[in-house]
Amino acid sequence: MARMASPAQLGYPAAPNRVGKRRVITAPRHLLQIEGMHPPQIDTMLDLAESYVLLNRSGTTQRDLLRGRTLINLFFEDSTRTRTSFELAGKRLGADVINMSVSTSSVNKGETLLDTAATLNAMNCDLLVVRHGQSGAPNLLAQKVDAAVINAGDGTHEHPTQALLDALTIRRRKGRLEGLVVAICGDVLHSRVARSNIHLLGTMGCRVRVVAPPTLIPNQAERLGVDVFHNMKDGLQDADVVMMLRLQRERMSGAGSLVPSPREYFRFWGLDAEKLAFAKDDAIVMHPGPMNRGVEIDSAIADDPVRSVIREQVEMGVAVRMAVLDLLARSNRRND
Ligand code: ASP
Ligand code: CP
């Protein structure tokens, strides 16, 4: 198998770190958010992930890369895709992977998040993948532990690996990111997926729109550099990419006031063939999952083999997480 390029060969990271004319190469210690990342850093991760797509499709694994390293999945919120793909990614790179079951852990006896993390840290964990309901929880942990911390979704804040896998999916389908019109539709207010995608796609030169009823758009959304639309016809007009979001009912208190009934919501905001016709003829349809069919998306669209790239997003998720583990492990080498 061909040797993987080093972060330096990949030109990581971006321009801001310069000494005279020389670019200083420093790989990240943690992956906490997309906000603040620069295009070359994002390109580096996507390029490395691309090489992992090819590797995965060839059926080859690279079990020596993370041999002797320990990855702990610490999920305080439910997950199917993210937790499983981090586990697969870690195992394909040779790490020892532990999935901590929070629901049967000492968290139930009152142990705090910080004490839990400190305990795992004392076991010499190298990579800590954290999903938590509180925005900022992974950032807090990153200040307290030696392990590299990866944010697997924190409250309504960010879900950085989701945005990276979405970008990889778009780039593979469209050949580029720059100049594409991307419509992010649905519960933008509560969506960490939307926030990470807004930062990443905006940074990479996409024209990002958010399309939702006013109750599901954050205050002053325009400050994030997006165009705001309150109907699907205008919002989807000539879009290259249509990204649908699930209604995050678990983050709504008094949901009745924010959204109508599921049937009513689908009528105005659910993606069906009629609404998709407003987008470009070759527009692709995305969804981070889990989907609520018949609420934000019609089954016929979700399962359309030509327009829907939802399954491909899941495949890209494994490759992106392998790339992230690879880069962080290189920059967090223990003195062993
Ligand atoms: N799975 C994604 C997340 O955890 C999206 C969703 O749950 O709707 O943010
Ligand atoms: N897209 C995503 O994060 O899915 P899970 O919640 O199943 O991990």
Nearest CA to 224 out of 187, 190, 199, 194 is that of 199
Of 251, 276, 246, 242, the closest CA to residue 262 belongs to 246
Helix/strand/coil for 107 = helix
State how far the Cα of 331 lies from the Cα of 327, in Å rounded to an integer. 6
Question: Which ligand neighbours the alpha carbon of 154 most closely?
Answer: 1
Evaluate the CA torsion angle 142, 147, 149, 152 in order and state its sign.
Answer: negative
pLDDT of residue 61: 84
Average confidence (pLDDT) per 10 residues, the chain, 336 residues: 42 40 61 97 97 95 92 97 98 96 92 93 94 96 95 98 98 98 97 98 98 95 96 98 95 72 94 98 98 97 98 98 95 64
What is the best residue among 129, 134, 188, 191 to mutate for testing ligand 1's pocket, by most ligand atoms within 8 Å of CB?
191
Phi, psi of 131 (to 5 degrees): -120, 135
What is the atom index within ligand 1 of the atom nearest the CA of 248?
Answer: 8
Which pLDDT score is estimated for 13?
42
Kind and range of the H or E run holding 117: helix 113-122
From ligand 1's centre to the CA of 285, what distance in Å? 16
Residue owning the nearest CA to atom 6 of ligand 2: 79
Q: Give the residue whose CA is nearest to atom 7 of ligand 1.
A: 290
Report the nearest atom of ligand 2 relative to the CA of 84.
8
Q: Counting ligands in written order, which one lies closest to the CA of residue 248?
A: 1
Which pLDDT value is given to residue 257? Answer: 63
Which pLDDT score, from 0 to 100, does residue 62 have? Answer: 84
So what's the pLDDT on residue 256? 55
Check residue 310 and give its pLDDT: 98
**CA 318 to ligand 2 centroid distance, Å:** 12
CB under 6 Å to ligand 1: residues?
Answer: 153, 159, 192-193, 246, 248, 288-290
Cα(156) to centroid(ligand 1), Å: 10
- Residue 74 forms beta bridges with which residues? 100, 130
Structure-block tokens of residue 87: 């586990």
- Residue 145 has a pLDDT of 94
Q: What pLDDT is attached to residue 2?
A: 37
Report pLDDT for 258.
77
